[in-house]
Chains A and B, each alone.
Chain A
């Protein structure tokens, strides 16, 4: 495996269990997973989160369009979640999947959440989307967990 393309860290005043829930529970993801695109009305993550299962990143709209898919590689609640990450058209072609690891670590009274994104070299567009998207999503996640308020989807700004 090559060195990670991106490593993002955020500290959140919450518990590891709540961070875990925010990553895997569909109804919780929809409250904060809003990217920088002004038309983004939020996304949800859907899977049974068993190793080897498929997961989907769907738009939070009635059609539920699938924007990303992948495979669950490792599930160790509430510490570590590893997924592969791809466009739906590349679902079957694992050579084009990148890999995302969420490490959740309690440090005193705060949780250190590390998101590591690897193997993105094959896809420049994805790489650019990712580098815009993660800081926004992590910042939204922190706000949501620390204030308990869902983010307003329709006014999601850049």
Chain B
């Protein structure tokens, strides 16, 4: 599966999006801390985190005996550039052309 497909697949699940929100609120959490907030079994949270890690949306850092989970926004930024900024840019461009045409009409 291409990397971008993994990102969209990971984001398609509401529990996984909730995990990302939790990490956005507090970055660098242990599995135990994340489980406490999710109301899900440890096994389910572990599986969701594995999907997020495979998509590079979550990265882990070993801190002593703990494994801390971090939100990695880099793939989200790539989606923003590829799928949002581009269209936004076109829309702004269309608006600019329209303005120019209308101003041109005024001159005639």
Whole-angstrom CA separation of A73 from B78 in the bound complex: 31
Contact A139 B74 (CB under 8 A): yes
Contact B74 A157 (CB under 8 A): no
Interface of B: prevailing SS: mixed
A78 within 8 A of B: no
Contacts of A50 in B (CB 8 A): none
Among A7-51, those with CB < 8 Å from B are: 7-11
Interface residues on A, range: 10 to 19
Interface of A: prevailing SS: mixed
Interface residues on B, range: 10 to 19
20 new A-B contacts, CB < 8 A, other than A3-B28, A6-B70, are A3-B63, A4-B61, A4-B68, A7-B27, A7-B61, A8-B59, A8-B72, A8-B74, A9-B56, A9-B72, A10-B56, A10-B74, A11-B56, A134-B74, A135-B74, A135-B77, A136-B77, A139-B78, A139-B81, A157-B89
